[in-house]
Amino acid sequence: MQAYQGYYENGQFTPVGCVKLPRHARAILVIADDVQPSVQDNENSKRLAALGEFFSAVAASDEDVPEFERVKLTREVNL
């Protein structure tokens, strides 16, 4: 018997690390009692915190924030 750690989310089990199993292997999934946040939730939290820090730094700065012209990247432009 082998054991693998991973996360169950949206109907899929995602193992941590590389897992090689034979085709049609019989398996038993045991759910741990300590529910941990998913890796994606953790990454999203880090990104949101970084954006919050960025906007706080911009708001606290006494420098002018430059205005940028809006650009549509899907339209053709002749230069």
Whether residue 27 is contained in a domain is answered as yes
- Boundaries of domain holding 51: 6-60
User: Is there a domain that residue 23 lies in?
Assistant: yes
- The total of structural domains in the chain comes to 1
Residue 79 is predicted with a pLDDT of 74
Q: Which helix (H) or strand (E) holds 60?
A: helix 39-60
CA distance 36 to 34: 6
Residue 73 has what pLDDT?
A: 75
Residue 35 lies in a domain: yes
Per the domain annotation, does 41 fall within a domain? yes
- Kindly calculate the radius of gyration of the chain based on its CA atoms and give it in whole angstroms: 23
Asked, for residue 40, whether it belongs to a domain, the answer is yes
pLDDT in tens, the chain (79 residues): 888 888 877 888 888 888 888 889 888 888 877 766 666 677 778 888 999 998 888 888 888 878 888 777 776 767 7
Backbone angles phi, psi at 6, to 5 degrees: -175, -165
Domain-embedded: residue 16? yes
In a domain, 38, yes or no: yes
pTM across the whole model: 0.37
The verdict on residue 70 lying in a domain is no
d(CA 32, CA 13): 13
What are the C-alpha distances in Å from 45 to residues 13, 42, 57? 21, 5, 18
